[in-house]
């Protein structure tokens, strides 16, 4: 294995981690503030991807599609919160799981009805096409580097929003004692809608950016949702900092594990068997990491203060 290949895979892991952070940040905010298990979060990721693909196809502009992904996912999130989620806050978690699972089915079939069963494709904008040279001579796509940079900007923006603004103060207070801030005159219903729409917009942004790397298709959000839940369990439920670190850990461990494990196992098995065993073991690696972290820190790496 060359240094250039290792660096390329490390950057791929960071890019995957950034995408998972955008998903997990909204998910952990929603659970931290509302105490809601939202299985439909992956559907909002899909909504953002389809909105971006449809608007980009109609206008020829990826950037307009990106704006549309944010707007459509946020609007869908707000509508879901107003019509469905608002009735679930005082219900058991099982009721929340069943209701949001039903939303997955509704979104999937509704999207299939509007767009059909065939995947859509997004072109990378001309500004972000091409590749840059990495140390060691490898070429790395500019678009993937742009995704990493965009994720860093979103993380910084969330830090400022949560830690330095009045809205962030209310979100943090809602995580700690939602009954008290309601008694102090804060409109808790509006706060819940804003938080849900913010989480949905982040998921939609992730879907739009990933849509240019792979096909946009029905059901694309569910595999990412599973990884996002792993991220927030590792990082600590309700913690944005934990979501960022957990996402980067999952992204890098998953990507580097798929590269290194098959090569390591060639020391003990023939190459063909090492490849098969290594691929299977690499797919389990992030869950092994999660179990080890929870054995040491049962509430995750950076649990929210109220957890």
Confidence (pLDDT) at 4: 75
Q: What is the pTM of this model?
A: 0.87
The domain locations on the chain are 3-118+141-296
Specify which residues 139 forms β-bridges with.
133
Q: b/e string for 15-41 if b means 16 or more Cβ within 10 A?
A: bbbbbbbbbbbbbbbbbbbbbbbbbbb
- How confident is the model at residue 219, as a pLDDT? 87
Give the Cα separation of 245 and 295 in Å (integer): 18
Q: Tell me the torsion sign for CA atoms 58, 61, 64, 68.
A: positive
CATH number of 3-118+141-296: 1.10.3470
- Under 8 Å CB-to-CB from 208, ≥6 apart: which residues? 48, 49, 51, 52, 65, 66, 69, 70, 122
Quick one: 142 exposed, middle or buried, by C-beta within 10 A (0-12, 13-18, 19+)? middle
What pLDDT, in 10s, does the model give residues 240-289? 888 899 999 999 998 888 888 888 888 777 877 777 887 788 888 889 99
Q: Reply yes or no on whether the pLDDT at 52 is more than 90.
A: yes
Q: Does the pLDDT of residue 73 top 50, yes or no?
A: yes
Closest CA to 100 of 242, 33, 189, 196: 196
Summarised one tens digit per residue, pLDDT across range 112-165 is 999 888 888 888 888 888 888 888 777 889 999 999 999 999 989 888 888 888
Q: List helix spans (H) across 236-302.
A: 240-265, 271-296
Closest CA to 120 of 58, 39, 189, 64: 58
> Is residue 175 predicted with pLDDT exceeding 70?
no
Distance CA 115, CA 46 (A): 12
Provide Rg for the chain, Cα atoms: 20
Contacts by residues 167-172 (CB-CB < 8 Å, ≥ 24 positions apart): 167/194, 171/29, 171/33, 171/195
pLDDT beyond 70 at 178: no
Residue 176 has pLDDT above 70, yes or no: no
For residues 175-185, average pLDDT: 68
Identity of the highest mean pLDDT range in 87-96, 168-177, 181-190, 214-223: 214-223
The least confident of 24-33, 71-80, 191-200, 201-210 is 24-33
- Please say if the pLDDT value at position 307 is more than 50: no
pLDDT for the residue 174: 66
The DSSP annotation for 100-111 comes to: HHHHHHHHHHHH
């Amino acid at each position: 294995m060359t240094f250039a290949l290792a660096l390329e895979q490390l950057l791929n892991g960071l890019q995957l981690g950034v995408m998972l952070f955008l998903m997990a940040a909204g998910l952990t905010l929603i659970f931290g503030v509302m105490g809601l298990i939202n299985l439909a979060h992956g559907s909002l990721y899909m909504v953002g991807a389809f909105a971006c693909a449809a608007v980009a196809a109609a206008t020829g502009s990826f950037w307009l599609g990106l704006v549309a992904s944010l707007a459509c996912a946020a609007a869908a999130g707000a509508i879901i919160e107003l019509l469905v989620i608002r009735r679930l806050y005082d219900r058991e978690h099982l009721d929340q799981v069943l209701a949001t699972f039903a939303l997955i089915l509704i979104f999937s079939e509704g999207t299939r009805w509007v767009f059909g069963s065939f995947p859509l494709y997004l072109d990378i904008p001309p500004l972000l096409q091409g590749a840059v040279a990495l140390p060691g001579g490898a070429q790395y796509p500019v678009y993937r580097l742009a995704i990493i940079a965009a994720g860093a900007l979103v993380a910084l923006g969330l830090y400022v929003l949560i830690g330095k603004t009045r809205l962030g103060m209310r979100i943090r207070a809602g995580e700690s004692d939602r009954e008290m801030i309601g008694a102090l005159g804060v409109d808790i219903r509006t706060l819940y809608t804003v938080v849900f729409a913010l989480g949905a917009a982040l998921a939609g942004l992730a879907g739009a950016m990933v849509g240019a790397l792979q096909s946009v298709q029905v059901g694309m959000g569910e595999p990412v949702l599973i990884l996002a839940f792993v991220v927030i369990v590792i990082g600590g439920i309700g913690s944005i900092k934990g979501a960022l670190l957990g996402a980067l850990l999952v992204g890098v461990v998953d990507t580097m594990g798929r590269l290194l494990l098959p090569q390591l196992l060639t020391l003990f098995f023939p190459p063909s068997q090492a490849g098969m065993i290594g691929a299977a073991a690499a797919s389990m690696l992030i869950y092994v990491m999660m179990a080890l972290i929870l054995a040491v820190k049962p509430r995750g790496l950076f649990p929210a203060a109220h957890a």
